[in-house]
Amino acid sequence: MEQIIANGLYLGAQYALIALGLTLIFSLMNVLNFAHGQMYVFGGFVTYTVVVQLGLPFIVGLFASAIVLAVMGAAIEKFLFAPVVRRSKRDESTMLLAAGVAFFLDAVILLFFGEKQRGVPKIVNGVFNWDMRIIMPYDRILIGVLAILLIVAFIAFMNYSKTGRAMRALAQDKMAAQLMGVNVARYSMIGFALGAMLAGLVGGLLVTITGVNLGMGGPTSIKAFLMIMIGGAGVISGAIAGGFILGMMESVGLTVLSAYGDITYLVIFASLMVFLAVRPQGLMGKPWG
Amino acid sequence: MHKRTFLKVSALAAATMLSLPLMAYAQNATLKIGFVGVTSGPAAAWGISNQRSMEARAAWLNELGGVTIGDKTYNIEIVPFDDQKDPKRAIAGMEKMAQDGVHYVVGPNVDDGAAAVRPVAEQNGIMYFPYAFPKELYTPPASNAILGMVANYQSGPAIYKYLMENKGVKKVAFVAANESDPLSQRESGIAAAQALGLEVVSGNVTYQVDTTDFTPVLLPVIQASPDLLVLSGVSPANAPQLIRSARELGYTGLISTETAQDATVLAEGAGELAEGFISVGGASTPELASDAMNEFVERYTKMFGEYNDESNTKVYALEYIIETLKANPAAIDNVEEYKKTMDTFEAANPFMKGDAKLKYVGTTSFGQKRQVSVPLVVNEYKGGKFETLFVGQVD
């Protein structure tokens, strides 16, 4: 049982961090960023390139991922999403654009980084073993702790910085925020950049554990959408809750249901359908948006 | 002759001389060989290594002036189609090949795609070389598919037997992705293990292909304390993570798979934890690789930046097609002629040292020769590269 909880917490921390960026972008711009998974993959490849190809320290790779993805996110928002949001009132326009960006990034990743699975050597060796009740490699513990620290830093940033407060105001009521002098275009771009940066950071963190490959983008986006559907789209606390719930469900299911074959995600999806039928806005979302 | 006229004539002669090889190159007819396989998504490495192997070899042959089949010389053109590992797309790809007049196609890479394209291939006179193991593709009445590698039901028993005799393996566990190929490979692996008298202590644990943390997946498997953990049909993307998770959970036994892997990917993803990992390889171990194979690796690396060890096996399909067409030029647009040639076909294997031959095999497994003969090389990962554990042959 202890092992199941430890696995669930570790998975939950990384999932929550992935979902945060997605929900931030959704809350600010009402954009379902289908390219979020590809941004995560891109971040992993940037860290890989810096650490393995260039031989620089892991922390440099992590910073490089954050910066590259933030710049990429800002550019995508400014030159692609902002004009579409300005010109089209239809939600599907941004959804189609996001899908297009996802395909484009897949092609760019294949072109620049190739088709192979890539990985960064373990940053910490050794395995924590508590009397065979909890077995957890130290690098997973480190990554889990870093993920939780990043979540805390993100919450603090959103609550206590001027930029964070402006983005929260924008998420709550765009018109009111604009009337209060919030520069919508500027903070939308910053929010998108921050969301992309978070995706890149998780990619950079997890490339040391799970590695990264071209095909991980789509499934990562799907899991991120699952999390924000559980927690409530556009709600930061909901994304965190969704991440930890999905992580725990996956950990429990893979252990308890293993004897019945690969039915963990079947059970998760079935539970989610029932849950959304009862509470379509998710755990912490508001029924009106 | 005036100096100016002399210079003009010399320049013209030089230009003519220089352009002759190019003219010959351009004048060759074109032989289109298709590829229908997965070059995007999580399993992209399988198809991309196919496509790039074909393109590298085709470029090399074209550079040498083309391939002479009968009394005509052809440049080889590779026509690729990404089926995205989707059987519907694979059918569309094979239909495109038929529309383009292509009679020889490499791929698809997976079971359901290979099964799906069968009617299209048979109706349109296309021979295809899948990397998929269902026996019904290769046994009569089917006759258009030729297995492009060694199947797991051929390599698995050889590996298990070797490990029983040399490493004292008694208990075995299987883990597979929840997809048709790995699941069918797991089933045939379990059957082979049981036939050899091994105790299967875990055989029903599966995982999603997009799993990023295998610790919870492997926990119940490791608790069953197997001597050998078989990663059935594992993709190169998942293998390092599975190995790493198993070792980090304290597993000290043997780990093997019947699929081809890439040493660099293992080194990056699992590092020292991959030491001793056993997998099926191709013909480029230093003990087996000919000078031509080494040159192929060099050319591939030059063209695409990095070599893929899976191409050690994938290099063969195009070679078989070309050499068989050379043996019977009438087969160039008539696959029935190709089939007639297969039973007696034999040519020198350029990629292996010694007097190795290219020939079709598979009589024991399929009742007819519908498999390319590539060496069954079983490798062990040691110190960042593969070392040959043993070499076998499929009949």
In whole numbers, what is the pLDDT of chain B averaged over residues?
Answer: 88
- DSSP H helix total and E strand total for chain B: 14, 16
Cα radius of gyration (chain A): 19
Q: Which residue of chain B has the CA closest to A117?
A: B237
CA B347 remoteness from chain centre: 19
Nearest chain A residue to B213 by CA distance is A210
Given a contact cutoff of 8 angstroms between Cβ atoms, the answer to whether A102 and A32 are in contact is no
- Percent of chain A scoring above 70 in pLDDT: 97
CB–CB contact B237 A251 (8 Å): no
Q: Inter-chain contact A261–B41, Cβ cutoff 8 Å?
A: no
Cα separation of A45 and A212, whole Å?
7
User: B142 to chain A nearest CA, in Å?
Assistant: 33
- Closest residue in A to B85 (Cα) is A215
| Interface touch B241/A220, C-beta < 8 Å | no
Residue B25 banded pLDDT, cuts 50, 70, 90: low
Contact B365, B146 (CB under 8 A): no
Tell me the ipTM for this assembly.
0.71
Does some domain include residue A89?
Answer: yes
CA distance A81 to chain B (A): 25
* Neighboring chain B residues of A127 at a CB cutoff of 8 Å: 248, 250
Residue in B204, B209, B240 closest to A211 by CB: B240
Higher-pLDDT residue of B162 and B180 is B162
Q: Which of B42, B208, B262 sits opposite A215 (nearest CB)?
A: B42
Pairing of strands B104-106, B127-129: parallel
**CA-CA distances (angstroms) from residue A153 to A146, A158, B279, B388?**
10, 9, 44, 51
Query: A 227-256 residues with CB below 8 A of B?
Result: 250-251, 254-255
CA–CA separation, A164 vs A182, rounded Å? 12
| Chain A residues whose beta carbon lies within 8 Å of the beta carbon of residue B42 | 213-216, 219
Would A93 be classed as within a structural domain?
A: yes
Q: What is the mean pLDDT of residues B159-180?
A: 92
Kindly provide the b/e burial profile for residues B362-391, where b requires at least 16 CB atoms within 10 angstroms of the residue's own CB.
beebbebbbbbbbbbbbbbbeeeebeebee
Average pLDDT of the residues in A17-31:
85
Q: Which residue of B has its CA nearest to A139?
A: B248
Q: Measured between alpha carbons, how far is B212 from B255 in angstroms, rounded to an integer?
A: 19
Any idea what DSSP says for residue B137?
A: G
B233: left (phi over 0), alpha (psi -120 to 50) or beta: left
Position A128 confidence tier, pLDDT thresholds 50, 70, 90: confident
* Chain A residue with the nearest C-alpha to that of B237: A117
pLDDT attached to residue B28: 87
Is residue B217 less than 8 Å (CB to CB) from chain A? yes
pLDDT at B4: 61
Residue type, A204: G
In this structure, the strands spanning A127-130 and A134-137 are antiparallel
Strand B72-82 relative to strand B29-37: parallel, antiparallel, unpaired? parallel
As for how many domains chain A has, the answer is 1
- In this complex, is the C-beta atom of A104 within 8 Å of any C-beta atom belonging to chain B? no
Q: Where are the beta strands (DSSP E) in B62-134?
A: 67-69, 72-82, 104-106, 127-129
Whether residue B14 has pLDDT greater than 70: no
Q: Which chain A residue shows the shortest CA-CA distance from B179? A: A262
Chain A CB within 8 Å of residue B384 CB: no
Whether B207 and chain A come into contact, CB under 8 Å, resolves to: yes
Residues 40-99 of A with CB under 8 A from B: 48, 52
Confidence tier at A289 by pLDDT (50, 70, 90)? very low
Chain A nearest CA to B326, separation (Å):
34
Q: What integer pLDDT is reported at residue B387 of this predicted model?
A: 85
CA distance B40 to chain A (A): 7
pLDDT digits (tens, 9 = 90+) for A257-284: 766 766 788 888 899 899 989 888 888 8
Predicted local confidence at residue A261, as pLDDT: 67
Whether residues B48 and A115 touch (CB distance < 8 A) is answered with yes
d(CA A124, CA A118): 18
* Class of B152-259 in CATH: alpha beta
B228-232 and B199-207 beta bridge pairing: unpaired
Using an 8 Å CB-CB cutoff, list chain B residues near A7: 213, 215-216, 219
Task: Decide if B311 touches A, using CB distance below 8 A.
Answer: no
Averaged pLDDT, A94-121 = 88
Q: For chain A, say whether B178 makes contact (Cβ under 8 Å).
A: yes
Mean local confidence (pLDDT), B117-121: 96
> What residues of A are in contact with residue B262 (Cβ under 8 Å)?
116-117
Q: Which of A92-101, A129-138, A152-161, B28-37 has the lowest mean pLDDT?
A: A129-138
Q: Average pLDDT of A38-50?
A: 95
Sign, Cα dihedral of A225, A226, A230, A236:
negative
Residue among B159, B384, B262, B337 nearest A117 (CA): B262
Substitution target in B38, B243, B248 with the highest count of A β-carbons within 10 Å is: B248
A237 confidence band (pLDDT: 50, 70, 90): confident
A70 min Cα distance to partner chain B (Å): 24
Give residue-wise pLDDT tens across range B96-115: 999 999 999 998 998 899 99
What's the mean pLDDT when you consider all of chain A? 87
Q: Which of A17, A134, A226, A262 to mutate to test the interface with B (most CBs of B within 10 A)?
A: A262
* In a domain? residue A230: no
So what's the pLDDT on residue B19? 52
Calpha distance B249→B228 (Å, rounded): 15
pLDDT exceeds cutoff 50 at A254:
yes
* A248 interaction partners in chain B (CB closer than 8 Å): none
Q: Does domain B26-149+286-374 correspond to CATH entry 3.40.50.2300? A: yes
Euclidean distance between CA atoms B388 and B329, whole angstroms: 37
Question: Does A142 touch chain B if contact means CB atoms closer than 8 Å?
Answer: no
* B314-359 pLDDT, tens digit each: 999 999 999 999 999 999 999 999 999 999 999 999 998 888 899 9
Q: Which two tokens stand for residue B359?
A: 């020939």
Using an 8 Å CB-CB cutoff, list chain A residues near B248. 127, 135, 137
Residue of A106, A111, A258 best to disrupt the B interface, most CBs of B under 10 A? A258
Return the residue of B nearest to A251 by Cα: B216
Of B217, B240, B268, the CB nearest to A254: B217
Partner A contacted by B82 (CB < 8 A)? no
B378's tokens: 């079983």
Higher pLDDT pick, B175 / B156:
B175
pLDDT digit string, tens, across residues B261-280: 888 888 888 888 999 999 88
Question: Which pLDDT value is given to residue B9?
Answer: 61
Q: What is the mean pLDDT of residues B32-59?
A: 90
User: Which residue does chain A place closest to B215, by CA atoms?
Assistant: A7
Q: Does A3 touch chain B (CB under 8 A)?
A: yes
User: Domain residue spans in chain B?
Assistant: 26-149+286-374, 152-259
Question: For residues B341 and B328, is the Cβ–Cβ distance under 8 A?
Answer: yes
pLDDT tens sequence across B206-247: 888 777 778 878 888 998 999 999 999 898 888 998 998 899
- Segment A65-92 shows an average pLDDT of 91
Please name the residues between 176 and 235 in chain A that touch chain B, using a CB distance below 8 Å. 206, 209-211, 213-216, 218-220, 223
Range in A284-288, B18-22, B32-36, B124-128 with the lowest mean pLDDT:
B18-22
Task: Flag whether A48 is in a domain.
Answer: yes
Whether residue B1 is predicted with pLDDT greater than 60 in this model: the reply is no
Range of the domain at A12: 2-215
pLDDT of residue B300: 95
Whether A78 maps to a domain, the answer reads yes
Chain A residues near residue B231 by CB distance under 8 angstroms:
none
Contact residues on chain B for A255, CB-CB shorter than 8 A: 216, 219-220
CA distance A250 to A258: 11
